[in-house]
Structure 1
Amino acid sequence: MTSDEDRWMLAELMRIPGVRFCLVFAVDGILMSKTAGIDTDSAQRIAAACSGQLSLAIAVNKEVGFQGPFLQNFSRWSDGYVFVRRAADKTSLAVVTSGTADPSLIAHAMAERIQRIGEPALSTPGRTPAGA
């Protein structure tokens, strides 16, 4: 994902009522981009945690026998939500909201922006192991 693409997508998501901040991260939990409203250290920890959340969801997917690819997961607390959506091969988008956010609006907005940008532009290239 280029910086222009993620800035555009994240800026549009930030305009939705209740959105606190957004992250784009690689499947291995590496932070790729973030919005204002969260410091880099916290964003890196949240990206890593969301990557773990996705791993758990994918493991459940295999065990319950769903055939399609994983698309989205969200967690709810009394005062907010964390939405995590697959954006492309090896790339995901997380949106953290207040409790006043409309979950269906957030889910739809995430899917729509990802579709508009397109999977090839959002994909994270593979990493070369250190020392290789």
Structure 2
Amino acid sequence: MTTPPTTAHPDSWMLDLVFEVRGVTHAVVLSSDGLVKVRTDQTDPDTADKVAAACAGLVALGLSMGREFGRSDVLRQVVVEFDGGFLFVRGAGDGSRLAVVTDATVDPGLVAQQMQAQVLMIGERTLGTEPVGH
């Protein structure tokens, strides 16, 4: 059984920095309402939609927890560890989020560092907004 070819996403170059980290399997930029804005060429549209929808729910939960138990409604990141890997989500400007799915071999610190660098690049070049803070 072969995997059908994935149509190249026109803006997938924006995710090159984070996708080059060993162990990263998918990277998606999603809008504040959970729609896919950008995905890597290695992430098919259906998978990107699933990641975006799940992350929108996690972000909503995180924002709610921050308002209830934190000091603001600013959500810096969400990290989920599951058997076989991780899901990382962080802000990417204008309400967008960068979501990265990895396998279990990944270095979480390196992923977080590359995501921060990627967000700064996306914020400055593409979204036309101020980069997300540290």
Name the aligned partner's letter for residue 97 of structure 1.
Answer: T
Q: Identify if the C-alpha distance between structure 1 residues 90 and 12 changes in structure 2 by more than 3 Å, giving closer, same or farther.
A: same
**Root-mean-square deviation over aligned CA pairs:** 2.2
Q: Is the 8 A contact 1:74 1:83 kept in 2?
A: yes
Distance 1:117 1:44 in 2: 20
What is the SS of the residue equivalent to 1:118?
Answer: helix
Report what 1:128 is aligned to. none
Q: Is the 8 A contact 1:21 1:36 kept in 2?
A: no
1:39 equivalenced with 2:31 (yes/no): no
Q: CA deviation at 1:50?
A: 0.5
Residue identity over aligned pairs, in percent, reads 36
Q: Is the 8 A contact 1:91 1:123 kept in 2?
A: no
Name the aligned partner's letter for residue 27 of structure 1.
Answer: S
> Which among 8, 12, 27 is matched to residue 17 of structure 2?
12
Q: CA deviation at 1:120?
A: 7.6
Q: CA deviation at 1:68?
A: 6.8
Count of residues in correspondence between the two structures? 121
Q: CA deviation at 1:116?
A: 3.1
Gaps of 5+ in 1: 125-132
> Which among 104, 107, 114 is matched to residue 102 of structure 1?
107
TM-score (norm 1): 0.81
TM-score (norm 2): 0.80
The structure richer in helix per residue is 1
Q: Cα deviation per residue 1:88-129 (whole Å; 9 max; x = unaligned)?
A: 1221110000000011110111011212343583269xxxxx
Q: CA deviation at 1:14?
A: 1.3
What is the SS of the residue equivalent to 1:75?
Answer: strand
Distance 1:93 1:85 in 2: 5
